[in-house]
Structure 1
């Protein structure tokens, strides 16, 4: 029940940051609550909160500022409900983790991997509906497979490449072994060894009715190899060749999985000549070495507004200094730009903005220049391999790479040894 107009009280203004919606905005059986309350965690509470917020939004007595806050709350709750629905609606089949395919960008048609019929993705408005239709297009998180929900139980569906990689991969920190990736350029074996059978469906093939996959070097029937193209990891690493080549549907899923997961390739071990051929790679490697030292300062810094490390963790791991993903090798210009942005923000923070980080700098003990503060990531320094003390590079070489600190420690240890005798 609403109070008469002359008896209404304005909303509580004791705290401008804590706007309260009074009880007269609600029905008699619904208590008042704060628009800045924490978002409820349970699904039922979220749905109930959405209903209450919508009721308040539609009331003409609701203030415009409060209405805007309520609209933002409703949007946040609906997005969280959609995430909960996606988790509940995930389908696992033959290793695929399938969710509904939603058109978030420009509308486009995709081909079902089973029935090969084109279909549009669901519109963005379907984020907030919970029911599924059998004609809905599903997409795999790992390999980007597209398939109708009705086609899941049809025979001939290819398993997710994740199953093969899970069997053969070995983990070392955040590094994933690339043993399961074919790194030979089109290792063709011939149709005789394949016994004139398709490598995927085992159907009969001939010289006039088959296609060669450039990734695994195997022959496929025209149904299993319909002319899809993709960049080949082996050609990138060995020839720096990014031209898309024809691959089978099975290999396309594998390449999509390789590109979507952080599988690292050690280019120093696989093809060290890339450092002399690709001009961006030596620059990227030098910046990564400097960022490794900068990251140690950032981890120890307690300032709340210190720059964030917005790059992949393997890029600042010393043991993975030569390792890159396929996507990083395909976009070296973008990778270099991202590293420059992080490098410049950390450099400004450590050398200028943060007194705590500046206090961890060094002065050269050889020239005693107190005006030049040195850091391990600078280009004009030399660091002692034993104690990590930093000097000017020219000063260090003039002293025949003799570290003054190590010399003092040796003299101190020898003196203590003599006194003990």
Structure 2
């Protein structure tokens, strides 16, 4: 009863649920059980990776890839130490818990028939056996149960981070989040496109478990990203900002999402999937920082053309430059979050200043600048200068003030039009060589 209470309180399946066990009752049960037989209490501080100092030198720990004979030997050794340990002591509590874990591991080995698969491919996942697990608790994405990493084999997907027990590997029903996002290539841009539980036939959108609001043990949970309902095993009340709410309302409040949505957002957080200009162009008018970054991206696009043609300037093409200096002008959630935090502004300012100083000081790059034909001074103009403007037709550069004083008329375009008027067309010129004598071709 104590172990069940501890798992119910700690499992993500019952997190933020109406059926959590009472902490008081769990504590009372743990004290009563420990006072009689020295069983494991529901104390959260008792971690499976912690070994009491008095038995640390007895080498009870086994590797996650231990064989059946090694586990049976460890079980017998653990039983002997339990009998010789003091009752109600920390050593006995740890030993009893470890004995339970060893028996669970032995049951897994029996189910495996002695063979362990190192790599498994299913539903787009590429699972690999976990050999070195960090000192933190892990939960199975299939059954939401605790993974006792010391004695139980577990797998992790190298693409999306899906973690599951060895015994759950063949029952995985969730498609790999990496496969889903690679095929889509974009985020869901509708704000919580909820269709209702009836549209799902009152079943979980992932595992098809029957859902009803009358059943408090398996309450339906709405995913704010997909708009679908999931069971408590597939929806752990993970919190995340929603891309659709950010793009349409600049709303960064975190909302509850399902496990598949959490994995998709985590995996694609740094991928440029969001086209703010086509999705919500009015957002630039309300968010000044976003408008400034958008202008800087246009300047970086012009700077990239200069730096790519220069051997010394190519070293300035940092990862941030490559991400923001592209031509598709799409943003990732990481970029938008950095804009909201204000950290991207300082990085972009430093990047643009270093690129500008190289272009203006390099003989090769500065030689590709422009001169204003209206004022005729020797100031070199570049497309990324704030005081310069470019003609949309011929790409000639002018000072912004000179362009307005000239009535926004391009001198180069005027010369090209005059040249076309004075140049005779091909229809007006008669080529005498093209006139053939038909008698030459007739016998």
TM-score class, shorter? 0.5 to 0.7
Q: Residue in 1 aligned with 2:197?
A: 191
Q: Residue in 2 aligned with 1:182?
A: 188
Q: 1:215 to 1:102 in 2, by over 3 A?
A: farther
Q: Residue in 1 aligned with 2:246?
A: 236
Q: How big is the shift at 1:294?
A: 0.7
Deviation readout 1:98-126 (Å, 9 max, x if unpaired): 4566989x85433221343445989xxxx
* Residue pair 1:119, 1:137 contacting (<8 A) in 2 also: no
SS, match of residue 365 in structure 2: helix
| Whole-angstrom distance in 2 between the partners of 1:100 and 1:374 | 59
| Whole-angstrom distance in 2 between the partners of 1:287 and 1:393 | 18
Q: Residue in 1 aligned with 2:175?
A: 159
Q: How big is the shift at 1:396?
A: 1.4
| Whole-angstrom distance in 2 between the partners of 1:230 and 1:416 | 65
Q: Residue in 2 aligned with 1:311?
A: 320
Deviation readout 1:141-165 (Å, 9 max, x if unpaired): 2x332234x2463314412134344
1:292 to 294, 301, 323: 301
Pick 1 or 2: higher relative contact order, CA cutoff 8 A, min separation 6: 2
TM-score where L is the length of structure 1: 0.64
Structure with greater helix percent? 2
Q: 1:415 to 1:271 in 2, by over 3 A?
A: closer
| Whole-angstrom distance in 1 between the partners of 2:303 and 2:346 | 17
2:276 to 260, 267, 276: 267
Q: Residue in 1 aligned with 2:20?
A: none
Q: Residue in 1 aligned with 2:336?
A: 329
| Whole-angstrom distance in 2 between the partners of 1:279 and 1:351 | 28
Please show how residues 3-402 of structure 1 align to structure 2 within 5 Å.
Answer: 92-99=121-128, 107-118=135-146, 135-141=153-159, 143-148=160-165, 150-151=166-167, 153-167=169-183, 169=184, 176=185, 178=186, 181-207=187-213, 208=216, 209-259=219-269, 262-303=271-312, 306-311=315-320, 313=322, 315-318=324-327, 320-321=328-329, 323-332=330-339, 333-352=342-361, 354-370=362-378, 372-402=379-409
SS, match of residue 126 in structure 2: strand
The number of residues matched between the two structures is 305
- Could you list the runs of 5+ residues in structure 1 that have no partner in the other structure? 1-88, 123-132, 170-175
| Whole-angstrom distance in 2 between the partners of 1:218 and 1:410 | 61
| Whole-angstrom distance in 2 between the partners of 1:114 and 1:284 | 42
Deviation readout 1:330-362 (Å, 9 max, x if unpaired): 22133333322321111010012x111111112
Deviation readout 1:233-258 (Å, 9 max, x if unpaired): 22222221222211222322232333
| Whole-angstrom distance in 1 between the partners of 2:301 and 2:191 | 34
Q: Residue in 2 aligned with 1:81?
A: none
| Whole-angstrom distance in 1 between the partners of 2:377 and 2:200 | 73
SS, match of residue 320 in structure 2: coil
* Residue pair 1:363, 1:374 contacting (<8 A) in 2 also: yes
2:415 to 382, 392, 408: 408
* Residue pair 1:236, 1:242 contacting (<8 A) in 2 also: yes
Q: 1:347 to 1:98 in 2, by over 3 A?
A: farther
Q: CA RMSD in A?
A: 3.1
Deviation readout 1:143-194 (Å, 9 max, x if unpaired): 332234x246331441213434455x4xxxxxx4x2xx43222222222333
Q: How big is the shift at 1:411?
A: 3.6
